[in-house]
Amino acid sequence: MTGGFYSRLREARQDDEQLAACIDRVVKQLEDTSTTGDRPGMLLGKIQSGKTRAFVGVIARGFDRGFDIAVVFTKGTKTLSAQTVARLSYDLREFIDEDEVLVFDIMKQPGKLTKTEQRRKLVIVAKKQTQNLERMIHFFDQDYPDLKGRKVLIVDDEADLASVRFVRKKNQDEVEQGKIADKMDAMRRLVGKVAYLQVTATPYSLYLQPESYENDDESGYVFKPKRPAFTELLPIHSGYVGGDDHFLALPEGDPRSFLFVEVQREEQDALRHEDQRRIRQDRVLDSPNATGLVRAIVTFVLAACLRRWQQAEAGEKRRKYAMVIHNDTQKKAHAWQDQVIEWIFETATDAATNHPEKLRPLFDAAYADLRASIEADKGRIPTPEQAFEMFVEALQSGDVVREKVNSDTQVMDLLDERAELRLRTPFNIFLGGSILDRGITIPNLIAFYYGRNPRTMQADTVLQHSRMYGNRDRRDLAVTRFYTSLDVYNRLFTINEFENALRSAFESGAHEQGVVFIQSDAANRVRPCAPNKVLLSNVVAVRPTGLYLPTGFQTKSGKDLTVAEKELKSLIPPEARDNQKFVEIDRGTTMHIIAIAEKTFEFDDGDFDWDAMRGLLDYYSDVRDGGDGKVLLLAETGRKLSREKSGDKSGLSILGGGTIRNLVLDPQRSKPALVLLQQEGSRELGWSGHSFWWPILAAPGTVEPCVFATKVVSD
């Protein structure tokens, strides 16, 4: 065969220029930089953004540049290990067929390797699990000691899992993560010429840490940092759908503005434990505790019908579609949810067969919902009668299939040759728990019902649940829906901000100093904290020029607002009003303004963290951190935003455009800013009937991204 490994792989996969350049940079840095377990290289990508594709390319390019063996560490599940072998075998099939490359799982070796096989390029997959790693050590140390002299590339996939060390105090059993880290270190010591690459989308435990931590004898753990020696960002390809599509402020009429559908927490709680008083079989389509789930299923079936109609009209191949229901990790909960879904389909199928008009109200609501987003996308849609006929036929056909995907499931039986979940029919519903997170790719996912709601959310864990992210057909977005509670949605918004702050740090070069982790502290106002202590349910992520502001509120009574207006009149300098320019005020005055504004808001669901706003202003203006104790103030009156349009947590649409936006988002602004927008507040606009001041904190443009934790994990 002619050509190098990667050139042939690139031609077969049609890798674009950006990906090819990224792969080449990674391999060059692995050659030029001394990478070890303590100082690995990092390939950082977004969730479901093609990280496996990228590291397979790195392996192929590494083979071109003299590497002989690639060892791929995977998450410690049989499913992901087998899936990784399948994916590698699929991508490298040309080289395997030509006896140039041998791919195998360390626990399923193809017999004793012959001399000829040992001379091939080897790709060995191992779970991050003690027995697997002991077997890998034995492979190099006992079975084939000659291979220890070969040039080895270690790829640590999902590197934030089990690749850092936590060790218990004396007289206590060592935790599994410590064992795995030790075995991985031992493996690296065995091989003379080794390069080490971490691959992850959630590097919080790996990168965002100081060179060392002070040991805390009271905590019972010792943390061993593994900061990367270099970081390469995986390019975001044109087909990627991610957090910015789901959580950034979108202009009115954008089809993505229809993605989120609120589900009541009471419903998701009712689906956690069997209770036929809350969800009854004979009333399942009308039960208030199954409203969101019924809507999700009905809309999914209709959405798939509409997209397949569009494809047929355009002369394209009709595709199969998927829905995921991920409400819990417990098998008992899955069994109950499966029972409820069965009732839904039994009732709907019976109606479709015998009394189709009974389904008309559910269909009409789903059709109206999808029609709005399809028309916003300038797409075509069949008439209601045509669509209803397709919908009824889909239910009658029995083509809607569902699969439970948990630890009882032989997940490998559900995967295709590319190691993606196989779609058997046009309508596929997958119900499961955590096994649906890392590494499982679900093609053509257009409906995601998500109910996981722990008291504390970790960014890395929750991001890995985000199966709605990935390489998606943009035309599918017009019929895609994400069903969850408002509380979970707001937390996911925060986590997306967290992720964006991190990526911005890498893109700007600020990652050399790191993202700043600070926490509120009564005595010292704010202070740095270790990222592994941050509780994501109590965190605010702010990028340079990022905005932090209250949303989702109602204003208080006229008396409260009148008192506030009188107090603020004396605090807001006249030159700061309606002049479209900043005026400096001292930090104390700023805090007084915020305290007055705080008294004028009421929140229906949750609250706004006013202490975080104060803490961030403290941090940005503190003379100990380079500030001068001053804050920039800008006040604008005559605003008429309706309450209906006031939920933009990014603050951009609330801020508005023109000169004010340019001032606030100026990357050269070195001081924090407080923007006060006086809203008309009339009842016609949904407010309480009186004007009020809306405060927005704008971070300086010259600072590192910041993660502010109002609470941290206690020692």
Q: Which domains does the chain have, with CATH numbers?
A: 5-233 (3.40.50.300), 250-437 (no CATH), 513-709 (no CATH)
The 692-698 sheet, strands edge to edge: 547-548, 692-698, 673-679, 630-639, 583-586
Q: Which residues fall within 8 angstroms of residue 481, CB to CB, at 6 or more apart?
A: 258, 259, 260, 261, 296, 299, 300, 303, 369, 446, 447, 448
Q: Kindly state the tokens that stand for 371.
A: 């029609």
Most confident of the following: 157-161, 495-499, 522-526, 653-657: 653-657
Weakest-pLDDT range from 147-156, 194-203, 672-681: 194-203
Average pLDDT over residues 69-73: 94
Indicate the pLDDT class of residue 521, thresholds 50, 70 and 90. Answer: low
**What are the DSSP E strand ranges found in 170-276?**
193-200, 222-224, 230-233, 240-241, 260-262
List the structure tokens of 576.
């700061």
| pLDDT beyond 80 at 474 | yes
Residue 174 has pLDDT above 70, yes or no: no
Question: Which token pair is 704?
Answer: 């590192």
**Average pLDDT over the chain, rounded to whole?**
83
Q: Does 260 score more than 70 pLDDT?
A: yes
Q: Give the model confidence (pLDDT) of 403-461 as tens digits.
A: 877 665 566 677 777 767 789 999 999 887 655 655 577 889 999 999 887 655 555 56
Count of CB atoms within 10 A of residue 301's CB?
26
CA dist 382 and 385 (Å) reads: 8
Tens-place pLDDT, residues 273-292? 888 888 999 899 989 999 99
| Number of other residues whose CB lies within 10 A of the CB of residue 34 | 9
Looking at 208-217, 575-584, 594-603, 610-619, which range is the least confident one?
208-217
Q: What is the pLDDT of residue 10?
A: 96
- HSE of 190 in the Cβ direction (CA atoms, 13 Å)? 24
Model confidence over 630-644: pLDDT tens digits?
999 999 999 999 998
Return the percentage of the chain with pLDDT > 90, whole number: 47
Positive or negative: CA dihedral 409, 414, 415, 421: negative
Q: What is the pLDDT of residue 312?
A: 97
At residue 504, does pLDDT exceed 80? no
Buried b (16+ CB within 10 A) or exposed e, 611-635: ebbbbbbbbbbbeeeebeebbbbbb
Q: If you average pLDDT over residues 554-576, what whole number do you get?
A: 91
154-181: average pLDDT: 57
Residue whose entry in the numeric block shows the structure tokens 């320019």: 581
Q: What is the pTM of this model?
A: 0.71
Residue 710 has pLDDT above 80, yes or no: no
Share of the chain above pLDDT 70, in %: 82
